[in-house]
Chain A
């Protein structure tokens, strides 16, 4: 009979072993601190051994404080999720803008991109709300809506007043023969 391989079991085994609580935070902190020390060169050029010792000490001191390791373990997956969300947004935006349109989004495309971004944020917040137990009372919802409308109005007016007049209808001068 062939032994069944279950990747979930492997992850659970690594968790039980303490890889996520000790090894990974240590590796992360060691790499980041070592890289920063090597880049900045606080202790002078070519002091790799001293940088390595300082980075090791920082890493070991961090894993001794499990409360901070817990914060890291909660924080880092969220960062990864935000990266995926931003990448997906860029994917949608690039789908709308098309290939080779340059860095500037103009006109209707710009409007659609902004609208997609706002809808994306609303969807994201709505999806995450039950997970993080975000609940707003009726009073808070009304206050948020009224504040949002007020600021949107003020922002719109300021934008209309401040925006530079576009030179519509002007054509670039023709090249001399």
Chain B
């Protein structure tokens, strides 16, 4: 049984709210805000050129809603990113139980963990978008890459990529530890 609100959402879906209006609003707001913040198009009496900014934001948003593929990517990816956001907020809420007021300050107290989280979130967002972008065969980019990885796991390309990743990580780790050691030594000499 479809609920009353469900019927309303279905009506809005048929009307085109989710395919046209919301993507337009989102792109318009984001582009307009960026143009206002960066003042790329210059200033007029110390303020950004609003008319010009709104015109460009409007045009970009119209172009986006005309491209059906991009609207589909936005419609698929954004709810997943919101889900990820809720997961992270819930995690912080759970961790927050164990801390007093003002003690939970990840950015200053656990800089390494914060950087690690940021990298994990970046990877998750990239994966979400890769999963949202479809090929002509309706397979997602992520699915295609995964299938390729599985079927060619023992091949030269996958092996080379893994080798390159491991080498880069190893070099970063070793140079990072050497740098921190040198820094410690210089600080020790100064004192």
Which residues does A use to contact B, with CB under 8 Å? 15-19, 21-23, 28-29, 32-33, 36, 42-44, 47, 50, 53-54, 56-58, 60-65, 68, 71-72, 75-76, 79, 82-83, 86-87, 90
- What DSSP secondary structure best describes chain B's contact surface? helix
B18 at the interface (CB under 8 A from A): yes
* Interface size, chain B (Cβ < 8 Å): 35
A156: min CB distance to chain B, Å: 26
- Min distance, Cβ A2 to any Cβ of chain B, angstroms: 29
Residues of B within 8 A of A32 (CB): 82, 85-86, 89
Interface string of B29-73 (1 = CB under 8 A from A): 110111011000000000000000000000000000000000000
A-B contact count (CB 8 A): 105
> Is residue B121 contacting chain A, with contact meaning CB distance below 8 A?
no
B5 at the interface (CB under 8 A from A): yes
- 3 nearest A-B residue pairs (beta carbon): A18-B5, A18-B3, A43-B33
Residues of B within 8 A of A16 (CB): 1, 3-4
**Are B79 and A62 closer than 8 Å at their CB atoms?**
yes
Instruction: Give the CA-CA distance A163 to B87 in the complex, in Å.
Output: 36
Structural contact, B33 and A83, CB atoms closer than 8 A: no
- Supposing A22-B6, A57-B25, A58-B82 touch, asked if A64 and B75 sit within 8 A by C-beta, the answer is yes
A60 partner residues in chain B, CB cutoff 8 A: 17-18, 22
Given contact pairs A33-B85, A76-B90, enumerate 16 new A-B contacts (beta carbons under 8 Å): A16-B4, A17-B3, A19-B5, A23-B5, A43-B36, A44-B33, A47-B37, A56-B25, A58-B26, A60-B22, A63-B9, A72-B86, A75-B86, A79-B93, A83-B94, A86-B97
